[in-house]
Amino acid sequence: MRIKTFEAYQIAYRQSVEDPEGFWAEVAQQFQWRKPWKKVLSWNFNEANVKWFEGGVLNITENALDRHLAQIGNQPAIIWEPNDPEDKAVSISYNVLHDRVCRFANVLKKHGVKKGDRVCIYLPMVPELTVAVLACARIGAIHSVVFGGFSAKSIADRINDAECNMVITSDGAYRGSKVIPMKETVDAALDQCRSVKHVIVMTRTRTPVSMLKGRDLWWEEEVKHVDSVCAAEPMDAEDPLFILYTSGSTGKPKGVVHTCGGYMVYAAYTFANVFQYEPEEVYFCTADIGWITGHSYIVYGPLCTGATSLIFEGVPTYPDASRLWQIVEKHQVNILYTAPTAIRSLMSFGLDYVKGHDLSSLKKLGSVGEPINEEAWHWFKTNIGSDNCPLADTWWQTETGGIMISPLAGITHEKPTFATLPLPGIQPVIVDENGKEIEGNGVSGNLCMKFPWPGIIRTTYGDHERCKQTYFSTYPGMYFTGDGCLRDEDGYYRITGRVDDVLNVSGHRIGTAEVENAINMHLGVVESAVVGYTHDIKGQGIYAYVIAESEPEDAEMFRKDIAATVSRIIGPIAKPDKVQFVTGLPKTRSGKIMRRILRKISEGDMGNLGDISTLLDPAVVEDIKRGAL
Ligand code: WTA
């Protein structure tokens, strides 16, 4: 299962294409199954139906926890670094984590949560977040983790879409110098939700909260009164494990569903191979568990591999821009997996923050979430990795469950800004606008997959048709990623970014339609159009063109109000960076906004706007150009 040389990679890759079922059966055998599968794979992309390891029965927590207890029960499963560096870090062994997960699973059961029920988790980056996730998995409840930065409205939408009957949250959260209310936000969300029977509240900040009798329960109280034994629920390989909402180019975020068997096999296989994890190495992924990277590469992948996974509560710039390097030194981190945005941001503070920290424990680096520019790639490699750590630029998506295209650390020859080669089992194809495969090297186009892998999305919760439409209908017979890419002369892949109306702001996926809907909620707004523009630190910034009811008297104030509205409807991550007031938008005669033009203007690229003759009113373009920010 573990690939150690480039030749072994080539052999594994070939085998995975020639005999995918044989290949993945061999990988899956390394895990603990209660009952073996009857059929490795059945699939039909036209119907968006994929099943892996059908008939197999397992529980992912037995693989993430129980399986390790005899050998490495005392090894840290989690190291937790709190927001404030003066507070004590906590190390939680596999034995202790197992105990805590079982106890909390019993709490969930006691309050009526059963297999198949949906549980919303809205917590800061504390060990309890991992405990809550695994406790759900233990009893077969489907977790839906909502990133702690989302608004009450976003939480409510997600709770209602999945009809969750339980919410797990905390009184508050520490994030850098800020204390953020959590329970209060959940309370506001629950005003709009009918399905929730109980809220479990963990104490973190001692922020005063209102506790509703009969509904709300304190975490610390509850875990006192339950047993520490909790048998794992037997799960079919294709039973859902979790839902994670993600933005697309249209409408509300979709609930991406992953299932127990295939997801586990894929997350663990890719973790072990991409990072070449060796026993006792300390692995630190800076993502939040509220995103897929945290699900697959803080919780499930590492724990199913018996790794030590570091969880950091705070932000890379608090108390100052040396925090990540302090953590690396303090915990002797061997593997660091982070995002280009974090790298660019820390880069901008200068090398003084890096100097003076002993980073010699680092052996491997990883990057994820957005294209990494050459400057950031070299800075990370040279100044953090001392030019002797491999750097894996890992391309993947919420929908893919795990890493798809990436170097294997230290094995695959690297090229800055290239995610390099597909992992075994992954069959990328590049297609043109008409869906025709572009073969050969030195080509570019839209990135699709022509064969399923175990971690592929199974459905969008409650709406299978949407899954079919979004991923499997653009290019029939293929999974469409929404990304553009090029394949160079060596067959190496470079991901160039989204080709749909999805933005990637600081590595966060945000749909332009979502932001527009939020802006349009403001009383003073008639209509808006949102595009992304190149931003030095964030990768992309959000540029909003807004038609106001009447010319704003105080434009600056109005901009702030719009930002506050977006924050309230979606969350602070979706706030526009620039708001330009316009009198009209460039629309075609059929009423479609020509974003191509707006994108160019937002980039300051006014010269060649292409053909604007099909516009209803070409004169608006001149106005917009004049007022560009
Ligand atoms: C982008 C995050 C370039 C891409 C794991 C994809 C990347 C979207 C890379 C998925 C990378 C992710 N290079 N682009 N290494 N990794 N992306 O669902 O546009 O939050 O479609 O999953 O991020 O974002 P998501």
Q: Which atom of ligand 1 is nearest to the CA of 508?
A: 20
pLDDT band with cut points at 50, 70 and 90 for residue 607: confident
Ligand 1 atom 10 nearest Cα: 397
State whether the beta carbon of 371 lies less than 6 angstroms from ligand 1.
yes
Query: What is the whole-number distance in angstroms between the Cα of residue 572 and the centre of ligand 1?
Result: 20
Q: Using one digit for the tens of pLDDT, what is the confidence trace for 450-490? A: 999 999 999 999 999 999 999 999 999 999 999 999 999 99
Task: Determine the residue of 270, 485, 509, 573 to mutate for testing ligand 1's pocket, defined as the one with the most ligand atoms within 8 A of the Cβ atom.
Answer: 509
Q: 285-323: b or e for each residue (b if 16 or more CB lie within 10 Å)?
A: bbbbbbbbbbbbbbbbbbbbbbbbbbbbbbbbbbeebbb
What pLDDT score was predicted for residue 457? 98
Q: What size, in residues, is the chain? A: 629
Residue 160 pLDDT exceeds 90: yes
Ligand 1 atom 23 nearest Cα: 369
Task: Determine the residue of 341, 395, 415 to mutate for testing ligand 1's pocket, defined as the one with the most ligand atoms within 8 A of the Cβ atom.
Answer: 395
Bridge partners, 511 (sequence order):
502
Query: What is the whole-number distance in angstroms between the Cα of residue 394 and the centre of ligand 1?
Result: 8
* Dihedral of the alpha carbons of 453, 459, 464, 470, in degrees to the nearest 10: -70
Ligand 1 atom 7 nearest Cα: 370
State whether the beta carbon of 248 lies less than 6 angstroms from ligand 1.
no
State whether the beta carbon of 154 lies less than 6 angstroms from ligand 1.
no
Rounded to whole angstroms, how far apart are CA atoms 305 and 31?
10
Q: Using one digit for the tens of pLDDT, what is the confidence trace for 110-123? A: 999 999 999 999 99
What pLDDT score was predicted for residue 380? 98
DSSP letter (8 states) at residue 45: G
Q: Using one digit for the tens of pLDDT, what is the confidence trace for 166-176? A: 999 999 999 99
Check the CA dihedral 132-199-572-596 and report its sign: positive
What pLDDT score was predicted for residue 611? 81
State whether the beta carbon of 293 lies less than 6 angstroms from ligand 1.
yes
Token reading at 159: 């709770």
**Distant-in-sequence, close-in-space partners of 101: CB < 8 Å, separation ≥ 6:** 61, 65, 131, 134, 135, 138, 230
Rounded to whole angstroms, how far apart are CA atoms 520 and 562?
9
pLDDT band with cut points at 50, 70 and 90 for residue 232: very high
* Strands ordered across the beta sheet of 216-218: 216-218, 198-202, 166-170, 118-122, 142-145, 240-246, 254-259, 459-460
Rounded to whole angstroms, how far apart are CA atoms 247 and 251?
8
Rounded to whole angstroms, how far apart are CA atoms 439 and 430?
7
Residue 251 pLDDT exceeds 90: no
Ligand 1 atom 22 nearest Cα: 397
What pLDDT score was predicted for residue 489? 97
Which CATH code is given to the segment(s) 502-626? 3.30.300.30
Q: Regarding beta strands 166-170 and 198-202, do their DSSP bridges make them parallel or antiparallel, or are they unpaired?
A: parallel
What pLDDT score was predicted for residue 205? 98
DSSP letter (8 states) at residue 239: S
What pLDDT score was predicted for residue 616? 84
> Do the beta carbons of residue 357 and residue 325 sit within 8 Å?
yes
What pLDDT score was predicted for residue 231? 98
pTM: 0.97
Residue 327 pLDDT exceeds 90: yes
Tell the CATH topology of 58-426: Rossmann fold (3.40.50)
What pLDDT score was predicted for residue 249? 83
Taking alpha carbons only, the member of 123, 65, 57, 70 closest to residue 96 is: 65
State whether the beta carbon of 506 lies less than 6 angstroms from ligand 1.
no
Q: Using one digit for the tens of pLDDT, what is the confidence trace for 371-425? A: 999 999 999 999 999 999 999 999 999 999 999 999 999 999 999 999 999 999 9
What pLDDT score was predicted for residue 33? 98
Ligand 1 atom 15 nearest Cα: 395
State whether the beta carbon of 366 lies less than 6 angstroms from ligand 1.
no
Going from the C-alpha of 330 to that of each of 250, 293, 327, the distances in angstroms are 44, 23, 5
Rounded to whole angstroms, how far apart are CA atoms 337 and 275?
9
Token reading at 142: 């489907």
Residue 1 pLDDT exceeds 80: no
Domain ranges within the chain, ordered by starting residue: 58-426, 445-496, 502-626
Q: Using one digit for the tens of pLDDT, what is the confidence trace for 295-305? A: 999 999 999 99
Whether omega before 319 lies within 30 degrees of 0, making that bond cis, reads yes
Phi, psi of 617 (to 5 degrees): -140, 85
Query: What is the whole-number distance in angstroms between the Cα of residue 47 and the centre of ligand 1?
Result: 25
Residue 211 has, within 13 A of its CA and on its CB side, a CA count of 15
Q: State which amino acid sits at residue 462.
A: G
What pLDDT score was predicted for residue 523? 95
DSSP letter (8 states) at residue 398: G
Mean pLDDT of 35-44: 98
Whether omega before 279 lies within 30 degrees of 0, making that bond cis, reads no
Residue 612 pLDDT exceeds 90: no
Query: What is the whole-number distance in angstroms between the Cα of residue 130 and the centre of ligand 1?
Result: 23
State whether the beta carbon of 495 lies less than 6 angstroms from ligand 1.
yes
Rounded to whole angstroms, how far apart are CA atoms 304 and 310?
15
